[in-house]
A and B are shown apart, each in its own frame.
Chain A
Amino acid sequence: MSDLPATLPTFRTAGPIDGTRMRFFARALRDPNPLHVSDEFARSLGMPGRVAQGSMTVAMVGYAVARVVGQENVLGLEVRLRGPLFEHRRVRVDGRLVDGTERPTYRCEARTDRDELLAEASVTVRQP
């Protein structure tokens, strides 16, 4: 028996990811990749503008689970980054508990408010 919820409450960013948030996140992680701070660099690669760090999506996925089960009960996560997070998007993360795994595992998806898939993830948690 599990006391874990079968479905995670949806995590939603309270607002859009803008350039200031991208810069703060990149600075906190000392990310040297100009893709996260420079529109000019991003456009030189054929992208419409700067792209948030994949780690920002990872943080949202991790938190979507951690806020429900407690961070100390999150044992691991595997995140497959499927698409870039461009500026001015809001993000939501949904997850559901899956059967047939050795440890309780949530399969999660992160999408933008334009329904762009950002990431698919498996998050393993401690059995309560």
Chain B
Amino acid sequence: VSRSEAWTADVGDLVGSFSFTVDRADVWPVDWAAYLDDPIYQDPVVAEAEGYPGIPVPIGGLIFFSHLDGDWQSRAGIDYRRSLAAERSCELLGMIYVGDEVTGRTVVAERFEKTRSSDGVLLSFVRLETEYRTGDKIAMRERVLYVTPERTA
């Protein structure tokens, strides 16, 4: 696969947008699967007793691709047979709770290439940035860096 065929969204271009309501069924499996085992992520009564207005979404419990259409990968140039997420950062500007209406948009924030010194393989990097909003407030800004080996340089 040549690089020119691998993506269509350049830096600043929209990869996708989404809108959804956070469901309790999206939260408890994260708590359980990762062994967080904290009742604030399962029981609204416990969450409220801890001072939260509802069940909070655990850090890391939302990711941009959950609500994007399947074509985002080709626009971004992500191929699950070859691409790996290398970094993920989240700027947490507000809490997100079960029942919140969340909107978001994902853009290409950065593209660059490097040659891996160990074997000369050219690596393509793409950083996708997603803003999550609840109402008119930005609740989270997430950046995920994917790396894809392209070919021998």
A residues sitting closer than 8 Å to B (CB atoms) are: 13-15, 17, 21-22, 24-25, 27-35, 45, 54-56, 58-63, 66-67, 71-72, 74-81, 91
Contacts and interface: CB of A to CB of B under 8 A. Distances in A.
A76 B80 contact: no
Contacts of B91: 75-76
Interface of B: 25-27, 29-30, 32-38, 52, 56, 58-63, 65-67, 70, 80-81, 84-92, 95
Contact of B36 (A34, A60, A75): A60
A30 B65 contact: yes
Given A14-B37, A33-B80, A59 B87 contact: no
B33 A71 contact: no
Contact of A59 (B25, B60, B70, B80): B60
B40 to A, nearest CB: 8
Given A32-B65, A58-B88, A25 B29 contact: yes
A71 B59 contact: yes
